[in-house]
A = this chain, B = another copy of it.
Amino acid sequence: MSIANSATSEDVGSAAQRERRKRILDATYELAKSGGFDAVQMRAVAEQADVALGTLYRYFPSKIHLLVSALGRQFEEASARLNERDIPGDTQAERVLYVLKRMARGMQGDPKLTEALTRAFMFADSSVTNEIHVVGMAMTSIVTHAMHGGVPDEGALTEEDVAIARVIGDVWLSALVAWVTGRSTAADTATHMEKAVHLILRD
């Protein structure tokens, strides 16, 4: 997995630069995983990645860019893992819920990491559009893949499919924020998602 940023997918720069970029994203990941959003401090990232603060800012113009880039890497990996297997379930709703629950389990296993990345996503402004778009596409891809039961043929997506996937993604995001910020429990979130998916996908 050539780290860097497959999102905006720059395989650009010298080997040393790609190496620095990887170290920075790795450090971000580790700090987020162990301490959440607040623990990802720019000075700490720089130190752990063994670069100067100015260099960190040269690679990622803000803490938000940094975290959203890390989130993009995560989502692309998750999307790739999920899309290479068939999704169990007899209805669209079942399959979508299967996938969402799987993701939810993964996130609950790393709550600090999830908190850091979600917060960054929510706080991102238009300067982060590219990185955000990567995340949105991965989410849509995951849901539509589940709706279609794992067929690798992605060409057969109707507008309706994409609209549905976006709505589900929206609900998922709201639920995620509520969970991350401690305003709802994991169980509440699961229940809410279940209701929402059945409401939207009545097959």
Contacts and interface: CB of A to CB of B under 8 A. Distances in A.
B174 A170 contact: yes
Contacts of A177: 122
Interface string A162-203: 011011011101110100011100000000100110011000
A7 B175 CA distance: 21
A163 B129 contact: no
Given A163-B195, A163-B199, A200-B200, A125 B171 contact: no
Contacts of A167: 167, 171, 195-196, 199-200
Contacts of A128: 181
User: Taking the full assembly, how many copies of this chain does it contain?
Assistant: 2
Contacts of A124: 181, 183
Contact of A170 (B122, B123, B129, B171): B171
A9 interface: no
Contacts of A123: 119, 122-123
Nearest to A170: B174
Interface residues of A, number: 29
A6 to B, nearest CB: 16
A132 B199 CA distance: 25
Interface in A5-40: none
A77 to B, nearest CB: 23
Contact of A132 (B129, B169, B183): B183
Nearest to A133: B183
Contacts of A171: 167, 170-171, 174
Contacts of A132: 183
B182 A125 contact: yes
Contacts of A182: 125-126, 129
Given A119-B123, A170-B173, 5 more contacts: A163-B195, A163-B196, A167-B200, A170-B174, A173-B174
Interface of A: 119, 122-126, 128-129, 132-133, 163-164, 166-167, 169-171, 173-175, 177, 181-183, 192, 195-196, 199-200
